[in-house]
Structure 1
Amino acid sequence: MPSGLVALLDDVSIIARTAAASIDDVAAAAGRAGSKTAGVVIDDAAVTPSYVTGLSPARELPIIWAITKGSFKNKLLILLPGALLLSQFLPGAIILILMLGGAFLSYEGAEKVMEKLGGAKHGKTVDDVIEDPVAFEKERVAGAIRTDLILSAEIMAIVLNELSNDPIADSFIGRGLALAVVAIAVTVVVYGAVALIVKMDDLGLHLTKKPSQAAQNFGHFLLKAMPWLLTALSFIGTIAMLWVGGGIIVHGTHELGFDLLYDLAHGAEYAVKAATGALSGLFGWLTYAAVSAIIGLLLGFVIVFLLHKVLKIGHTEH
């Protein structure tokens, strides 16, 4: 074989190995950064089923698919370019965006708590008379995509923040690939899980018609479990909003030089760790999450009061 061709093939193999290593680095960085978004992902997966609850079963998957496409557009066409530009030219703004998102999540969580306690509802729900189902469905999808935009912005900002100390962050392309990997993975996981959740009752009904007694029993179990699961998801979603929102505020204020909330949350965490022995890690984390949630709830109450009582924005009695 001519020596020039051998050299060329050798160069190609080196480039291929380098590219493979880069892909591994991107995947590893995306995995490390993506793990930090768990709270927002839980929130997203828990909140989304509420947008199809009470609607026609035949429209559940089309609605989820419409929301999924909107989520991909949010992450890949809007937030990814914006995040890359911010990381390149204005990295200091990332923490402020995180805090705005944290305040929004705290507001959403506090509003849900107030509604559960008998407060006014905000916006039309499936309990109201729906005069135009098509328009209502479009409104629900649009509302879900707006909420997804906020949650996705939080995910992208968290990933960027986590990547700041990773070697992959030195490369503009590396940052972009890591963000894209997390964006695609999170979207597939969240909306795949949501699709399974909302169709669980249909699966249960299908299984009850099978000749196998075991299948019938499992089908009945799924049907009975569905209302409990939706209730649990609603509760988990609200807690996740407050925990994530409050935690972002705690971290953000610390980054900006205001340490009171940070010291309060971590002081409680360390005190519980010191008193709980073998389970200190778990109980310490739960304490930090609980304090963060309380901070988020209090901040949310303030924002709800300012918006609905003082500024009279979005206040609708039902």
Structure 2
Amino acid sequence: MMVWGNQTFNSDFILLGIFNHSPTHTFLFTLVLIIFAVALMGNSVMVLLIYLDPHLHTPMYFLLSQLSLMDLTLICTIMAFNYLSGSKSISVAGCATQIFFYTSLLGSECFLLAVMAYDRYIAICHPLRYTSLMSSKICGLLAASSWLLGSTDGIIDAVATFSFSYCGSREIAHFFCDFPSLLILSCNDTSTFEEVLFICCIVMIVFPVAIIIASYACVILAVIHMQSGEGRLKAFATCSSHLMVVGMYYGTALFMYIRPTSDRSPTQDKMVSVFYAILTPMLNPLIYSLRNKEVARAFMKVLRKGKSGE
């Protein structure tokens, strides 16, 4: 049974942020805001391009638009509740909501990246059956499943985190409500939950990673046996973009969430979170757009239409 203690609801939590008002931190704060703005604009443009250009209405680009939508929602979730600078209070309901959205989106991206790897496997290894195996209906179901599985993880994490009482300090050494930072403040023993959480994170990461590894193992074998050099280059260009995103995403996820609370450093966690929650969403659309001729072509087409309409 959940321990919704009275102390949990008596006062708001205080987010300590990551920057003070020193000149160095002011510069870093400005840099983070620029990264946030670029991430916001880049993912918005990616979603709009894929929606507006009929040539991009394919399963691969639909899944890419879902990735950009998740990244867009993620950075807005963090920035909508609090600023990165200075102390800011957040209600218990707001904290629980932020934990739900944050963990839901991270979990959803885990599964979506696996779906994207499967899509590349079908496109390269079974091109003649691609239309039937990755039809609009199947593609939509796979994307919806990613959102659903991620949301399930978010509900579990949010409910479990607030099943504990928080009777001590209300100060969270972070710039948003992240459950590892919150558990440190609990006056209950959270070791069992941390063990369960560790197992859940492993499952959430290992299962999608297994699909990604299996998909790309088949892709590499298929590419090696291709007769056309141009076909090899195109396949590697498409897959390398996805692999770069996978490497950044899972690398930081493993570092962030499989460590026990006792081994965590607040400063370290905050720095990794900035990379994980803001820098990676900024890099994703840049990686895909700079390495993808179709996206670049769609972008130039929109620019030409804009100029002609002036």
Q: What's the TM-score once normalised by structure 1's chain length?
A: 0.30
**Which of 1 and 2 has greater Rg?**
1
Q: What's the TM-score once normalised by structure 2's chain length?
A: 0.31
Q: Which has the higher contact order (CA 8 A, sep 6+)?
A: 1
Bigger fraction of residues in helix: 1
